[in-house]
Amino acid sequence: MTEEKGSPVGRIHSIETYGTVDGPGVRFVVFFQGCPMRCLYCHNPDTWDPKGGRQADVEELLAQYEKSREYYRNGGLTVTGGEPMMQLEFLTALFEEAGKRGIHTCLDTSGICFREEDPLFMEQMDRLAKATDLVMLDIKHIEDGAHRRLTGHSNSPVLAFARYLDRRGVRMWIRHVVAEGYTTDAESLEALGYFIGGLKMVKALDVLPYHSMGKSKYESLGMAYPLKDLPDLPKERAVRAKEQILKGIRRKRAEG
């Protein structure tokens, strides 16, 4: 991150002005550039490169928000990606300024950048947590080995991040994509629910069926789509997966 005229600067991919699926209400959604994950079903591969996109500063983004503020009165600002926590300082500056203006802030993240062992990172993280009203945490898989196969990374930082948010009292919505043969086994789904059941700050669970709508984007970028032969998941299969996750949640909470 650099600074220009006193306003913190970061790299963004794009902006969606009237988002309805990225947190409560109508949202101003900022897509950050850069992501370390390589999820097999990722539909935004154009956000991976941290040097891609364009520069934007905090004042520019919030000035654009203010132009349509009346439409966001029951919503707010959501930052997604890519992986927003790759630009932690810029993200923190944006949320802190948004908070001063009474704007509801939502972070959509995989949590993969969380580094509890790094004191400097945690100092910045504590500032971000204080400025964040809601985190939509995408838990890709509860089993570490399966998470590595699906994303190229361990899920240890993700689960540690969820526990950290819980300790800090930050509200969470958990998101989980269900892809046949990758995240559909009942034992893992129930284990995910068992983990979620131990988090008192989880306020919602979104179970999303895998879709292949990103395939055309890969083609336009000249990239091979990893799951080209995987059919879209029927919605009823996602409903069944959610029931299995809820079973795990109930079991954990029954144990106290």
pLDDT score, position 175: 97
> H-type helices in the chain, by residue range?
58-67, 88-100, 119-131, 144-151, 156-168, 186-196, 215-220, 235-255
Within-domain flag for 20: yes
Distance CA 248, CA 244 (A): 7
pLDDT score, position 136: 98
Within-domain flag for 6: yes
Each residue's pLDDT expressed in tens, for the chain with a length of 256 residues? 444 456 899 999 999 999 999 999 999 999 999 999 999 999 899 999 999 999 999 999 999 999 999 999 899 999 999 999 999 999 999 999 999 999 999 999 999 999 999 999 999 999 999 999 999 999 999 999 999 999 999 999 999 999 999 999 999 999 999 999 999 999 999 999 999 999 999 999 999 999 988 888 899 999 999 999 999 999 999 999 999 999 999 999 999 8
User: Domain containing 10: what range?
Assistant: 2-184
Distance CA 196, CA 248 (A): 8
Within-domain flag for 254: no
Within-domain flag for 241: no
pLDDT score, position 214: 84
Distance CA 110, CA 36 (A): 10
The HSE-up count of residue 154 (CA atoms within 13 Å, CB side) is 7
Q: Are 139 and 176 in contact (CB under 8 A)?
A: yes
Within-domain flag for 117: yes
Q: Is 144 left (phi over 0), alpha (psi -120 to 50) or beta?
A: alpha
Q: How many domains does the chain have?
A: 1
pLDDT score, position 5: 52
Burial class of residue 221 (count of CB atoms within 10 Å of its CB; 0-12, 13-18, 19+) = exposed
Within-domain flag for 192: no
Q: CATH number of the domain that 16 lies in?
A: 3.20.20.70
Within-domain flag for 36: yes
Within-domain flag for 82: yes
